[in-house]
């Protein structure tokens, strides 16, 4: 197995974001030194990872609130979010993006937590795929094994955090795009509740709001610190505050255990073992764990694919208007074009699919009348070799592979509810395996508390070991 990492004896060391921010506050290191160390690390490993699409190494963008909780910690912004002066390419080879006139709303939110931007990270076209691969360009690679997928759509950010270039990076999630790369890269990936953070610009074009903004980290306390810092910068008054979470709670929880996805896909042995191990750790800690069924059927999977296909149809049809006049539909990737064709074959199915999807939040909420948390796989199998989910794969085969692989995460996007991926297992050849925990709308705090418990009981894998 060929792995790669950037950890070394420099200003970043092996520190997480919380520790780096503390060093800055103590005057032991400067923001400039941290940015320089992260840039040097990126230059060292990105030729192999291919995770950076737009570096800004010559002029890092420092946080807008000196003294904020994460002041000076270097990061990357995903390339579906505007950064002033940089193109926003959305992972597409179908057009030439022009420089953004100003920072996007979520870029401002990130900088408001104190983070220093040093570049933009790669994603697959429009974030539709579960692997960061392209028609003609080289893929983003998994630092744990360069021949394997790092997931998607926040794959570039995951590769940069997992390899040690930065301790935290921007991600967003419309069907699993925070949690999937977290599972592939051995990271912590929290998808917040709908409306928890400021929305990115993409949301205004969606018939059904499914996207949550967030970050990928290597430690639970970094995720907790970011959530608190983001809330300090801006808080949605319609949601209960989370505050700073410092560790596990003492309350006894009722935990639902799900191993069967809505598609009925077989769960592979390493994934099943990681989920069962997690359930055993929760029982050991005094929580009640019992098997439950998801509140949706295979119709949900068909409806989600129909909505996914609608979004692809809209992206390609409006590309010249919304993205750039240079947009060429014939150069969109195979997955986007295949989804568009899928939608155009049966557009009459879309209204019914949207109607049923809008009923999902109520069905999901009923699942939490008895349980505070649901534990499941993130994915039905461990991260595949590059090529398995390439957009060059014929569409009928690719969509079958994707719906088999991604059977658990989309439910939270439709329901608008929080969920987290934690690295709770390893394959025989050392690849990380993620486990998924979901909670009721607005209850990120319970997920973070349980994540602290599981991290203590099952220390997360370190790529540098």
CA dist 304 and 307 (Å) reads 5
Burial class (CB in 10 A: 0-12, 13-18, 19+), 218: buried
The answer to whether residue 92 is catalytic is no
Q: Please check whether residue 186 is in contact with residue 461, taking contact to mean a CB–CB distance below 8 angstroms.
A: yes
Task: Provide the 10 A C-beta neighbour count for residue 352.
Answer: 12
**Per-residue exposure over 411-426, b if at least 16 CB sit within 10 Å of its own CB, e if not:** bbbbbbbbbbbbbbbb
Angle at 69 between CA 66 and CA 72, to 5 degrees: 55
Enter the tokens of residue 201.
């610009």
| Catalytic entry in 177, 336, 380, 390 | 177
The answer to whether residue 138 is catalytic is no
Q: List strands edge to edge, sheet with 74-78.
A: 52-55, 116-121, 74-78
CA dist 379 and 406 (Å) reads 5
Q: List strands edge to edge, sheet with 288-291.
A: 168-173, 212-217, 188-191, 419-426, 432-439, 373-377, 254-257, 288-291
The answer to whether residue 120 is catalytic is no
CA dist 188 and 223 (Å) reads 7
| Catalytic entry in 153, 163, 336, 390 | 153
Q: Is 121 helix (H, G, I), strand (E, B) or coil?
A: strand
Catalytic residue set: 78, 153, 177
């Amino acid at each position: 197995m060929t792995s790669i990492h950037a950890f070394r004896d420099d200003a970043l060391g092996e520190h997480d974001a919380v520790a780096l921010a503390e060093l800055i506050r103590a005057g032991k290191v400067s923001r400039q030194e941290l940015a320089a160390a992260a840039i040097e690390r990126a230059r060292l490993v990105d030729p192999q990872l291919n995770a950076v699409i737009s570096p800004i190494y010559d002029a890092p963008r420092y946080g807008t609130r000196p003294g904020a909780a994460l002041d000076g910690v270097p990061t990357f912004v995903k390339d579906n979010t505007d950064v002033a002066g940089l193109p926003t390419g959305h992972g597409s080879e179908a057009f030439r993006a022009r420089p953004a006139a100003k920072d996007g709303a979520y870029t401002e939110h990130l900088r408001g937590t104190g983070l220093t931007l040093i570049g933009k990270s790669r994603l697959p076209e429009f974030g539709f795929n579960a692997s960061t691969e392209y028609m003609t360009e080289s893929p983003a690679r998994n630092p744990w094994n360069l021949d394997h997928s790092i997931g998607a759509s926040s794959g570039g950010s995951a590769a940069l955090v997992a390899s040690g270039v930065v301790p935290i990076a921007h991600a967003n999630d419309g069907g699993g795009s925070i949690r999937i790369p977290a599972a592939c890269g051995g990271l912590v990936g929290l998808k917040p509740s709908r409306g928890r953070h400021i929305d990115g610009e993409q949301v205004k074009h969606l018939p059904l709001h499914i996207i949550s903004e967030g970050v990928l980290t290597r430690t639970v306390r970094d995720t907790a610190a970011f959530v608190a810092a983001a809330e300090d910068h801006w808080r949605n008054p319609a949601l209960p505050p989370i505050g700073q979470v410092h560790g596990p709670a003492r309350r006894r929880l009722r935990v639902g255990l799900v191993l069967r996805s809505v598609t009925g896909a077989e769960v592979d042995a390493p994934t099943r073992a990681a989920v069962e191990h997690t359930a055993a750790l929760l029982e050991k800690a005094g929580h009640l764990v019992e098997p439950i069924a998801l509140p949706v059927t295979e119709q949900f999977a068909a409806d989600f694919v129909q909505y996914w296909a609608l979004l692809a149809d809209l992206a390609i049809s409006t590309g010249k208007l919304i993205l750039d006049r240079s947009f060429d539909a014939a150069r969109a990737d195979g997955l986007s074009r295949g989804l568009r064709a899928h939608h155009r074959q049966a557009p009459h199915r879309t209204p019914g699919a949207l109607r049923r999807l809008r009923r999902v939040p109520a069905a999901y909420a009923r699942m939490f009348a008895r349980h505070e948390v649901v534990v499941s796989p993130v994915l039905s199998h461990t991260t595949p070799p590059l090529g398995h989910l390439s957009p060059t794969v014929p569409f009928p085969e690719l969509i079958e592979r994707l719906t088999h692989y991604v059977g658990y995460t989309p439910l939270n996007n439709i329901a608008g509810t929080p969920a987290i991926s934690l690295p709770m297992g390893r394959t025989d050849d050392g690849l990380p395996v993620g486990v998924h925990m979901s909670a009721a709308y607005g209850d990120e705090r319970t997920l973070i508390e349980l994540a602290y418990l599981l991290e203590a009981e099952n220390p997360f894998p370190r790529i540098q070991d």
